[in-house]
Amino acid sequence: MSEATMPPWTAEQVQALAPDASSFASARKLAASGGWSSTGTGGEPAGLWGLCQGSGSNPYQICVDLTEPAYKCSCPSRKFPCKHGLALLLRWSGGQVAATEPPDWMAQWTTGRGARAEKKAERAAAPRTEAQDRAAQRRADKRAESVAGGVGELRVWLADQIRHGIAGLDQSGYKPFEQVAARLVDAQAPGLAAAVRRLAPLPSSGAGWEQRLLAELSLLHLLTGAATVDDLPDELAATVRTRVGAPATTEQVLATAPVRDTWQVVGVRDEAEDKLTSRRVWLRGRDTGRAALVLSFAAPGQALPVDLVLGTEVEADLCFHPGAAPLRALVAERHGAPRQCPRPGPVHTVAGALDELAAALAADPWLSAWPLLLAGRLVPGQPWHLVDADGDALPLDPAAGEPWRTAAVAGGGPVTLAAEWSPAGLRPLTAYTEGEVVRA
């Protein structure tokens, strides 16, 4: 796709790519500065390039592949994308970058990326040796034994909570949960460890915490029981393995049947957990209506992927992790460059959203998040609610804060809202109104 068929991204979309708030603030100042000696857009694949004067004698060379997107800058920054890449995108967003032929250094970068991608595909297609298969099986057997021990310890701890009562947990802080979670990490059951850590804030969450904690303990007990059953249906067994913390490998996922659709990027959420930063990118298939989650992680100092841009859509094949309610997916192959998506669909009513959630929870009762596209008005209250045209309503999660900014964008009128469902309520992600895409 050429630049002529790829409208510039909005400033909101560029902001969603920033690794932190300070990088975006610096990029805005840099975009408006006079340090740019050359910029351009075009080429195949469609890209941006620019020369920006830094502290040295030579200007920094900035390259952006808009189809991935991918970035390169000759500056020493370890952030990804750096402020120079963000500033170039902002200049493009503001109509300050003209279509020209790419310079040699941009063409070399593009060619090199293509060659590396081909070598990577060749390595991935190479057959495994018998020795590699045996070593992989030994590692899998050792992990299974370790996980079984962790599951057994967790079942004993859950039984103790019910036997001795939970009345004192609101005075004990996070310590008892953290101790159990640490043992589960040692047992190579990170999914169970994360589930236990999510329990820690409940005893201090206000009135009714006992009922919420008992419900979560019950789901954990159900999960540990399912983890000890050998003859579960294949899809349910895959769900249990994932919840325990042993999801399918990339190779296994990419071997499943792909789902081709126009996938709309409706939400992006970053979370810090246990010294890792995770990025949840929520997708919706325009034709299939399917929900999908592309999940990535980064250690401190490492960059998260930014190849799926909020407010865009791309025709692609997605391969889903196996499970009773497949949600997490990998992008297997793209068919063309991304394009703007100011009006996503299909959009649910509240009743339609509840039907979809009921089916998903029936298949996977341990679901804690699901993406929804809803149309309605935001109504203030304790808590706030999204009310659709039929008068049906869904509450917003109070922990997400009051959505005054989103309400202001809607101007008191109806808005299409991409939101992350959770047991505590909706967490707004993105608002679509009058052709604008605004991060909530």
Q: What is the pLDDT of residues 167-181, one digit of tens each?
A: 878 777 778 899 999
Number of domains in the chain: 4
In this prediction, residues 38-52 reach a mean pLDDT of: 90
Query: 345 lies in a domain?
Result: no
Residue 2, pLDDT above cutoff 70 = no
Are both 147 and 66 inside the same structural domain?
no
What is the reported pLDDT for 5?
Answer: 46
Contacts of 363 (CB under 8 A, 6+ apart): 235, 239, 323, 324, 325
Question: Both 42 and 112 in a single domain?
Answer: yes
How many percent of the chain have pLDDT more than 70? 97
Averaged pLDDT for residues 237-253: 90
Q: Is 320 part of a structural domain of the chain? A: yes
Residue where a domain terminates, one of 69, 102, 124: 124
User: 3-class SS at 265?
Assistant: strand
Q: Are residues 7 and 110 in the same domain?
A: yes
Q: State residue 37 phi and psi, 5-degree precision.
A: -95, -20
> What is the structure's pLDDT at 3?
40
| Residue 267 CB coordination number (10 Å) | 26
**Same domain, yes or no, for 138 and 237?**
yes
Q: Which of 219, 244, 269 is where one domain is finished? A: 244
The b/e string for 209-247 (b: 16+ C-beta within 10 A; e otherwise) is beebbeebbebbbebbebbeeeeeeeebbbbbbbbbbbb
Residue 229, pLDDT > 80, answer yes
Q: Which pLDDT tens digit goes with each residue over 106-158? A: 999 999 988 887 887 777 677 778 888 788 889 888 988 999 999 999 999 99
Which domain does 301 fall in, by range? 250-340
Q: How far apart are CA 385 and CA 375, in angstroms?
A: 12
Per-residue confidence at 1, pLDDT binned at 50, 70, 90? very low
| Assigned domain for 129 exists | no
CB 169 within 8 A of CB 213: yes
For residue 432, being part of any structural domain is answered with yes
Last residue of a domain, one of 244, 268, 286: 244
